[in-house]
Amino acid sequence: MTDLLRAEGVEKQFAARGGGMFAPHQRLMAVAGVDLELNPGETLGIAGESGCGKSTVARLLTGLIPLSGGRVTYQGRDLAALSRAEMALFRREVQMIFQDPFSSLNPRMRVSEILAEPMVIHGIGTEAQRRDRVDFLMNRVGLLPEQLSRFPHEFSGGQRQRIGIARALAVSPKLIIADEPVSALDLSIQAQIINLLQEVKRELGLGFLFITHDLSVLRHVSDRIAIMYLGRIVESGSAEEVLEHPRHPYTEALLAAIPSVDPKKRRKHAAPKGEIPSPLAPPSGCPFHPRCPYAEERCRVERPDLVEKDRPGHRAACHFSEKLPR
Amino acid sequence: MALLEIKGLSTHFSLPRGILKAVERVDLTVERGETLALVGESGSGKSITAASIMRLVPPPGRIVSGSILFEGVDLLQLSEDKMREIRGNRIAMIFQDPMTSLNPVFTIGEQVAEGLRIHRGLNRAQAEEAAAEILAQVGIPAPRERLKDYPHQMSGGQRQRVMIAMALALRPELVIADEPTTALDVTIQAQILELLDRLKEETRMGLILITHNLGIVAERAHRTAIMYAGSIMESAPTEELFANPLHPYTKGLLASLPENAKPGQELATISGNVPVLYGGTAGCPFRDRCPIGDAGCAATYPEMHDAGGGHLVRCLKAHD
Ligand SMILES: Nc1ncnc2c1ncn2[C@@H]1O[C@H](COP(=O)(O)OP(=O)(O)OP(=O)(O)O)[C@@H](O)[C@H]1O
Ligand SMILES: Nc1ncnc2c1ncn2[C@@H]1O[C@H](COP(=O)(O)OP(=O)(O)O)[C@@H](O)[C@H]1O
Ligand code: SF4
Ligand code: SF4
Ligand SMILES: [Mg+2]
Ligand SMILES: [Mg+2]
């Protein structure tokens, strides 16, 4: 089976100003050699701390920003080699959902126009067919027909996210990339939206790339998980393997830091020490070594590769995975 | 005597569209050395409750009734001069976004030292010395050098630490932390919460922790109050609240957590949307979304019911 979307050694550098006003431009390695693949019908969850490169990966995979290195393939074909028509098809089949649906919805358009627009752009259907499809989508995401003529500001955050989801579904995508789709929502609304995303994923057999920093959401939605740190994937594997038997000390630290409502699950580890280093001056060797409780001399000089650990498909970038309890 | 005792607090905004009841008949008590968690969705009135305690409600908001006893003295009866002596000195606040309370044009040192000079009468050198000491206490490495830094030169976590340092510099008896870690990553969040816990142990201050993260509440708070549409719906010792929630809203929130479901399973949900707070007081604020509400709930605003053991619940059907 060929994968739907694949990244091979994907890199992104940004020009950044370091230090004061007159400091020379520095290069910031936002994404530093990321490999991942996404299969049809599968949800890959990506987690990591703020600034680790999650959104940049999403934008690279959708071709929204150019790569600095590596390649992205869609159904086996290099994005860089797609013809104009093939690129248009890619843009239709791969849709994005954002954290803040407000900034991604045109404030001057009515909901009916927002939902029809992607179909117009991709030349799908007659006007009457598009109107039918809009009605279907409204119903599917739990909005009322009388809300069609309203503007985005007349909706609550959760309702706006429903509009964002409906718009992504309008053109029958094969893959949805959702960047923190529930992070800005209220607690009682998060569960509604997670359920909706899960339902449409199953109904339509969609592939999903789900970016979140909330590990309990990640556990709930993901088949496979990738944990990022400073622009790299440091651990990946099946959701259960990664979360139950982390092979990277950073994953272990993240899991220890999540506050839990269940007294039995509560781990009384001390909080992981130290701050997230600046991506402008990443540490030598293993990027996690200044914060790692298992670090040894080797970690300061030699960067570990992402390699398979004791279970098939479970990879970690750590010299001393065997020190972690199994 | 409790450190803080709020009784029947209502804070309303007169807006062109009508009266917005941001805070309605709120009762809360905080003891010395205690962490009280105030939990609720956005717009439920948490920040306006905090602003009411500080007497900093933005116009056109107004405290329309109630009392706020701080060590037995009603803050709502004090002159503005007397209130200014309490604000920042005996009651301090920590905000979600450090940039709202850190001034970008002054150094960290100047800002942390300012309160010490004004309220404690220290001279510049003494205040700077004390500021460095406080920064060290909140875990800022090389504090003496960092005094000369401006806020933008620090990371989000460090700015949050500086804000905590500023809030605690004068050893307040009560600290109100409004979503102090919402903008931070989990590992930094855990560090900041541990810091607050440690400082609380050392000083026996009371802490009001405003958050919507139920995991944080379960791990850190002695007592928890659940706020909805301006009213406290339920409050209890934290363990009791999580083990035995009585209000339909609290039950719904706990059931909807992904953590409490099997992976992939459909999550329990609370139907409907977060309400707008206009309109009459008649009826239970949760009635439109309540799975067990009936006609009676639309007619009567539920009084707080004491279920025993310090467990209070505002629901007409939780009485039996
Ligand atoms: N246009 C840009 N110019 C310069 N630097 C950028 C740009 N976009 C992102 N960065 C930097 O690249 C790194 C990765 O950013 P990215 O937005 O991918 O992080 P993220 O993992 O999505 O974080 P968050 O959880 O906060 O959304 C960060 O250091 C960020 O500051
Ligand atoms: N300055 C203001 N003017 C008008 N309404 C306000 C103002 N500040 C807050 N409110 C309203 O008061 C209610 C409670 O707000 P707030 O206490 O900030 O909620 P929370 O902190 O729980 O998210 C909300 O409906 C909000 O819109
Ligand atoms: S390689 Fe070394 S420093 Fe890096 S995570 Fe593993 S033990 Fe820690
Ligand atoms: S009073 Fe009625 S509507 Fe309100 S929470 Fe109780 S049962 Fe539900
Ligand atoms: Mg992002
Ligand atoms: Mg608030």
Nearest to B290 by CA among B205, B238, B233, B242: B233
Token pair 């700077």 is found at B128
State the best of A258, A269, A276, A278 to mutate against chain B, taking most chain B CBs within 10 Å.
A258
A272 DSSP assignment: P
User: What does the mean pLDDT of chain A come to?
Assistant: 90
- The answer to whether the Cα torsion of A173, A179, A185, A189 is positive or negative is positive
- What residues does the ion ligand 6 have nearby, CB within 5 Å? B 47
Three-class DSSP category at A187: helix
User: A255 vs A216, A246, A252, A266, CA distance in Å?
Assistant: 9, 9, 5, 10
Ligand 2 pocket, residues with Cβ under 6 angstroms: B 13, 20, 22, 40, 42-48, 58, 61, 277
Q: Give the model's pLDDT for residue A305.
A: 95
Predicted ipTM beyond 0.90 = no
CB contact under 8 A, A216 and B157: no
Q: What is the DSSP string of B181-220?
A: TTTS-HHHHHHHHHHHHHHHHHH--EEEEEES-HHHHHHH
Q: Give the model's pLDDT for residue A265.
A: 67
Angle formed at CA A300 by CA A69 and CA B135, multiple of 5 degrees? 100
Nearest to A30 by CA among A61, A59, A51: A51
Token pair 């556990």 is found at A219
Ligand index nearest the alpha carbon of residue A213? 1
Strand runs labelled E in A48-189: 69-74, 77-78, 94-97, 175-179
pLDDT digits (tens, 9 = 90+) for A237-277: 999 999 999 999 999 998 888 888 876 666 555 567 777 78
Ligand 4 pocket member B283 (CB < 6 A): no
Q: Any CB–CB contact under 8 A between A184 and chain B?
A: no
CB contact under 8 A, B187 and A216: no
Among partner residues A159, A188, A262, which is closest to B259 by beta-carbon distance? A262
Stated pTM of the model: 0.87
Nearest to B214 by CA among B238, B244, B230, B240: B238
CB contact under 8 A, A261 and B257: yes
Find the mean pLDDT for residues A12-30: 71
Higher pLDDT: B238 or A3? It is: B238
Contacts (Cβ under 8 Å, ≥6 apart) of B105? B150
Q: Give the model's pLDDT for residue A156.
A: 80
The yes-or-no verdict on residue A62 having pLDDT over 70 is yes
* A40 phi-psi bin (left φ>0, alpha ψ -120 to 50, beta other): beta
Ligand 4 pocket member B233 (CB < 6 A): no
Q: Give the model's pLDDT for residue A93.
A: 95
Ligand 3 pocket member A320 (CB < 6 A): yes
State the best of B269, B276, B277, B286 to mutate against chain A, taking most chain A CBs within 10 Å.
B269
pLDDT digits (tens, 9 = 90+) for A287-301: 999 999 999 999 999
Q: Give the model's pLDDT for residue A268.
A: 55
The yes-or-no verdict on residue A24 having pLDDT over 80 is no
Nearest atom in ligand 2 to B15's CA: 4
Q: Do B166 and B111 touch, CB atoms closer than 8 A?
A: yes
Token pair 């409502």 is found at A261
Beta partners for B6?
B28, B68
- Going residue by residue through chain B, which has 320 residues, state the pLDDT in tens, using 9 for 90 and above: 899 999 999 999 998 888 889 999 999 999 999 999 999 988 899 999 999 999 999 999 999 999 999 999 999 999 999 999 999 899 999 987 777 778 889 999 999 998 888 888 899 999 999 999 888 888 887 888 889 999 888 877 888 888 888 888 888 999 999 988 776 778 878 888 888 888 888 889 999 999 988 999 999 999 999 999 999 999 999 999 999 999 999 999 999 999 888 888 999 998 887 776 665 568 899 998 999 999 999 999 999 999 999 999 999 998 75
User: A52 vs A218, A228, A231, A233, A277, CA distance in Å?
Assistant: 16, 6, 5, 9, 10
Q: Give the model's pLDDT for residue B56.
A: 94
Count each helix (H run) and each strand (E run) in chain B, helices first: 12, 12
Q: Give the model's pLDDT for residue B277.
A: 67
CA of A7 to the centre of ligand 1 (A): 18
Q: How far apart are CA A48 and CA A31, in angstroms?
A: 13
Q: Which of A115-129, A272-286, B168-182 has the lowest mean pLDDT?
A: A272-286
Q: How far apart are CA B167 and CA B155, in angstroms?
A: 18
CB contact under 8 A, A272 and B239: no
